[in-house]
């Protein structure tokens, strides 16, 4: 192992949050041109679009959609986290409270989602 | 300890790139990483170069990479870093290696100066001493950063420094933030100009390695966020 160039020093939550934000951003940047290309088919090739939409009911497409929503959610929360971190001069205890509140609301939202399903 | 000997790998830098040497060092109950390096230099290889002075975590001269993490070696117990009774020690990242475990600290200190990390006095001996309100919000911010010992652990931990050698780095920017909040310092304009150019605080991606590894538990990342806020406010003020 090379002590000077190892990546061990990056294994902490703040760095992982940074990397998740970047990777989800790249994922979305790759997806969006494809998304607009498919939407553009409504104008240029409606039959192809219909064929594609029929295919979107398949399990693989559903899985991909789940990934997409995940990327969007992760990227949005990553951005909100960064703005809060840099623009709100919070004390560590305030940050803990805010993270706790976010976690609690997420739990409650998940509970309602499970009830709805 | 599972064995009476530790397997210590030393990365010897400059001129001997990636030249690693493995030493067997006698294990003791109480032993810091610096003790281990000193034993090697005194008992196994007198040509090994390294730097230390106070041995009590005040001077900031003994920082090294220990198993891939920058640490102050005089205050790091070996038991905290041993991995299967072995440890790898190398020179600090992001600074040029002079020899073995000794790095050239010049770029680090030059950046303190570039970030206006020096006192900007406006008073003479004829003036009364500037009053300091210990309870003011600005003083609390300033106090939070004054215990920096210039050890360069944050600088070695920073990936932004690794990617952009011009970037001033966490320590210099923390110093600038401390001075900006010091009632006795009158260099506000100079500091804000210094930290807002292309090598300044807006390079920071808030990865947080500086704050995660500062041995004195300071928070350079939040200090840099403070500079981002102040430089932006100052910029908007000028535009208006």
pLDDT at A52: 84
Stretch B110-122: mean pLDDT: 94
Q: Does B25 touch chain A (CB under 8 A)?
A: no
Total number of domains in chain A: 1
C-beta atoms of B157 and A86 within 8 A = no
Q: For the domain that residue B80 is a member of, what is the CATH number?
A: 3.10.20.30
Is A113 a domain residue? Answer: no
- Give the number of C-alpha atoms closer than 13 A to the C-alpha of residue B188, restricted to the C-beta side: 9
Q: What residue of B is the nearest CA neighbor of A20? A: B207
Q: Does A16 touch chain B (CB under 8 A)?
A: no
Condensed to tens digits (0 to 9), the pLDDT of residues B135-174 reads 999 999 999 999 999 999 999 999 999 999 999 999 999 9
pLDDT at B209: 95
| Average pLDDT value over all residues in chain B | 93
C-beta atoms of B69 and A9 within 8 A = yes
My answer on whether B197 and B215 are in the same domain is yes
pLDDT at A7: 59
C-beta atoms of A3 and B222 within 8 A = no
Does the structure show a pLDDT above 80 at B15?
no
* Confidence band of A99 (pLDDT split at 50, 70, 90): confident
My answer on whether B135 and B89 are in the same domain is no
My answer on whether B208 and B233 are in the same domain is yes
Per-range mean pLDDT, top range of A30-44, A59-73, B187-201: B187-201
The Cα-based distances of B228 to A77, B9, B152, B192, B225 in angstroms read 21, 41, 22, 9, 5
Total number of domains in chain B: 2
- SS3 labels along chain B: CCCCEEEEEEEECCCCCCEEEEEEEECCCCCEHHHHHHHHHHHHCCCCCCCCCCCCCCCCCCEEEECCEEEEHHHCEHHHHCECCEEEEECCCCCCEEECCEECCHHHHHHHHHCCCCCCCCCCCCCCCCCCCCCCHHHHHHHHHCCCCCCCHHHHHCHHHHHCCCCCCHHHHHHHHHHHCCCCCCCHHHHHHHHCCCCCHHHCCCCCHHHHHCCCCCCHHHHHHHHHHHHHHHHHHHHC
Does the structure show a pLDDT above 90 at B204?
yes
Name the domain boundary from B103, B118, B147.
B103
* Confidence band of A28 (pLDDT split at 50, 70, 90): very high
Q: Considering only residues 48 to 107 of chain A, which have any Cβ-Cβ distance to chain B shorter than 8 Å?
A: 82, 85-87, 89
* pLDDT over 90, % of chain A: 30
My answer on whether B98 and B46 are in the same domain is yes
Q: What residue of A is the nearest CA neighbor of B224? A: A86
The candidate with the shortest Cα–Cα distance to A9, out of B101, B154, B148, is: B154
Is A117 a domain residue? Answer: no
Cα distance between residue A3 and residue B71, in whole Å: 12
Cα distance between residue A108 and residue B24, in whole Å: 56
My answer on whether B227 and B157 are in the same domain is yes
Q: Does B145 touch chain A (CB under 8 A)?
A: no
Q: Does B222 touch chain A (CB under 8 A)?
A: yes
C-beta atoms of B209 and A1 within 8 A = no
State the residue range of the domain holding B202. 106-239
My answer on whether B157 and B216 are in the same domain is yes
Cα distance between residue A115 and residue A87, in whole Å: 37
My answer on whether B87 and B131 are in the same domain is no
Does the structure show a pLDDT above 60 at A6?
no
pLDDT at A1: 43
Stretch A30-35: mean pLDDT: 89
The candidate with the shortest Cα–Cα distance to B111, out of B74, B73, B143, B158, is: B158
Name the domain boundary from B79, B103, B127.
B103
Does the structure show a pLDDT above 50 at B103?
yes
Is A57 a domain residue? Answer: yes
Cα distance between residue B1 and residue B4, in whole Å: 7
State the residue range of the domain holding A33. 8-88
Name the domain boundary from B86, B103, B120.
B103
My answer on whether B196 and B160 are in the same domain is yes
Is A47 a domain residue? Answer: yes
């Amino acid at each position: 192992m090379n002590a000077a160039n190892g990546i061990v020093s990056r294994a902490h939550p703040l760095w992982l949050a940074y990397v998740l934000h970047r990777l989800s951003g790249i994922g979305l940047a790759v997806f969006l041109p494809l998304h607009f290309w498919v939407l553009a088919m409504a104008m240029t090739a409606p039959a192809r679009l219909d064929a594609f939409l029929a295919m979107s009911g398949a399990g693989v497409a559903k899985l991909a959609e789940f990934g997409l929503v995940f990327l969007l959610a992760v990227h949005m929360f990553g951005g909100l986290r960064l703005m809060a971190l840099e623009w709100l001069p919070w004390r560590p205890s305030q940050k803990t409270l805010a993270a706790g509140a976010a976690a609690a609301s997420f739990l409650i939202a998940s509970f309602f989602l499970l009830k709805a399903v | 300890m599972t064995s009476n000997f530790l397997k210590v790998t030393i990365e010897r830098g400059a001129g001997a790139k990636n030249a690693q040497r493995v030493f067997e060092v006698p294990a003791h109950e109480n032993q810091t990483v610096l003790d281990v390096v000193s034993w090697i230099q005194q008992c196994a290889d007198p040509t090994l170069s390294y730097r230390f002075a106070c041995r009590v975590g005040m001077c900031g001269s003994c920082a090294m990479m220990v198993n891939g993490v920058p640490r102050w070696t005089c205050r790091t117990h070996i038991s905290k870093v041993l991995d299967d009774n072995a440890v790898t020690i190398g020179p600090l990242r992001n600074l040029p290696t002079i020899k073995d475990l000794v790095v050239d600290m010049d770029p680090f200190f030059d950046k303190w100066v570039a970030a206006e990390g020096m006192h900007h006095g406006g008073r003479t001996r004829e003036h009364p001493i500037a009053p300091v309100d210990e309870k003011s919000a600005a003083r609390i911010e300033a106090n939070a950063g004054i215990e920096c010992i210039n050890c360069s652990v944050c600088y070695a931990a920073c990936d932004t420094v690794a990617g952009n050698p011009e970037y001033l780095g966490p320590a210099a920017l923390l110093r600038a933030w401390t001075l900006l909040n010091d009632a006795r310092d009158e260099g506000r304009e100079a500091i804000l100009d210094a930290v807002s150019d292309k090598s300044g605080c807006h390079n920071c991606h808030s990865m947080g390695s500086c704050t995660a590894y500062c041995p004195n538990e300071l928070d350079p990342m939040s200090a840099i966020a403070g500079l981002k806020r102040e430089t932006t406010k100052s910029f908007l003020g000028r535009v208006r």
